[in-house]
């Protein structure tokens, strides 16, 4: 990691904190992304499935920032598998966003959401080949996956040419996925942490609150900092300017003892 950036194995740099837009409806996405840009975010994460790409793209376009100064990620829908299908979905995404290239494009999940766990290896391989082609043609600066387990990534390593540059997974205090982290590190795959606040469920946790007080930060800031300390790239989401601003102010260090305490916490998922 260079200062403020992670570096992919192809040397493309990605700002080490991104603005997540999952669950931000299209009507609210314009204002939310504008607030993020205003507060210094230069990395915006969206997906075709979020149905907000249009206003994410419009907000970026209307803001006084040049295209190459914003890092834009989008994702191939989980149910879209296959070479031609991937090309079509990519074209839909760049047209929605109003851009001519993406910084990062991810396979959203190894299986359609309503068939979680089903084997779509062949479909993923064909989609990956399309993404390799788009990458080689200069349409995408980096390609990766999301919600992939070790075996899903291994199938791409065994059958394709380009090692994914990123794996975006749910990652937060209590949900560390150590084996997957180690595997990704071995293959120089950057791990991006979505839902770094456990979609908000960790914010009222007493242990988190107590530790945040000790550092004079908010629970959200502690949880976001935790991701960085674990070498993962957090993608916090908010539609409130005060929070958007706060979530980016995470320039402090968590001590080794406190880090260990956080690593030992249970998963809060209900
Ligand atoms: P909101 O969008 O209303 O601000 P995650 O990033 O883990 O998915 O968590 C997102 C949830 O956490 C959202 O409900 C968001 O609410 C809330 N949230 C984000 N940042 C903060 C913050 N700094 N303080 C309190 N709640 C926050």
Report the run of H or E that residue 192 belongs to, with start and end: strand 190-194
- Whether residue 24 contacts residue 239, with contact meaning beta carbons closer than 8 Å, is answered with yes
How far away, in angstroms, is 115 Cα from ligand 1 center? 28
How far away, in angstroms, is 242 Cα from ligand 1 center? 11
For the question of residue 50 being annotated catalytic, the response is: yes
Rounded to an integer, the average pLDDT of 178-191 is 98
- Whether residue 71 contacts residue 8, with contact meaning beta carbons closer than 8 Å, is answered with no
By three-state DSSP, how is residue 13 classified? strand
Burial of 13 per CB tally in 10 Å (0-12, 13-18, 19+): middle
Residue nearest to atom 4 of ligand 1 (CA): 238
Q: What digits encode the pLDDT tens for the residues 15-62?
A: 999 999 999 999 999 999 999 999 999 999 999 999 999 999 999 999
Give the side-chain half-sphere CA count within 13 A for 49.
14
| 20 CB near ligand 1 (under 6 Å) | yes
Cα separations in angstroms, 60 against 40, 41, 76, 156: 12, 11, 20, 33
Distance CA 137, CA 267 (A): 42
Residue nearest to atom 6 of ligand 1 (CA): 236
Residue 204: band (very low, low, confident or very high) from pLDDT cuts 50, 70, 90: very high
How far away, in angstroms, is 44 Cα from ligand 1 center? 16
Please name which of 137, 136, 156 lies closest in space to residue 146, comparing C-alpha atoms. 156
| 214 CB near ligand 1 (under 6 Å) | no
The runs of H, that is alpha helices, within the chain are: 26-38, 53-62, 83-97, 121-136, 150-159, 178-186, 206-214, 219-229, 241-246, 256-263
Of ligand 1's listed atoms, the one at least distance from the Cα of 243 is 23
Site to probe by mutation for ligand 1, drawn from 33, 236, 245, 268 as the one with most ligand atoms within 8 Å of Cβ, is 236
Rounded to an integer, the average pLDDT of 70-80 is 98
| pTM above threshold 0.85 | yes
């Amino acid at each position: 990691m260079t200062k403020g950036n992670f570096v992919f194995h192809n040397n493309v740099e990605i700002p080490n904190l991104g603005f997540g837009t999952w669950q931000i409806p299209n009507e609210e996405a314009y204002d939310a992304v504008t607030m993020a840009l205003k507060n210094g975010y230069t990395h915006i994460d969206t997906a075709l499935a979020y149905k907000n790409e249009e206003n994410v793209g419009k907000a970026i376009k209307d803001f006084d920032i040049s295209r190459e100064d914003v890092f834009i990620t989008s994702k191939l829908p989980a149910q879209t598998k296959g070479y031609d299908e991937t090309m079509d979905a990519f074209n839909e995404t760049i047209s929605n966003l109003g851009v001519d290239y993406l910084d990062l494009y991810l396979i959203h999940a190894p299986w359609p959401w309503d068939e979680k766990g089903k084997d779509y290896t062949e479909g993923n391989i064909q989609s990956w080949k399309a993404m390799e082609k788009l990458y080689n043609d200069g349409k995408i600066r980096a390609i990766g996956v999301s919600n992939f387990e070790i075996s899903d990534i291994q199938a791409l390593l065994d059958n394709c040419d380009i090692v994914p540059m990123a794996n975006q997974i749910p990652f937060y205090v209590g949900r560390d996925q150590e084996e997957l982290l180690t595997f990704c590190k071995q293959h120089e795959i950057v791990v991006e942490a979505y839902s770094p606040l456990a979609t908000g469920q960790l914010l009222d946790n007493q242990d988190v609150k107590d530790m945040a007080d000790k550092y004079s930060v908010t629970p959200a800031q502690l949880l976001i900092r935790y991701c960085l300390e674990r070498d993962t790239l957090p993608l916090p989401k908010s539609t409130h300017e005060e929070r958007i601003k706060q979530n980016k102010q995470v320039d402090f260090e968590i001590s080794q003892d406190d880090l260990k305490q956080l690593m030992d916490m249970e998963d809060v998922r209900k």
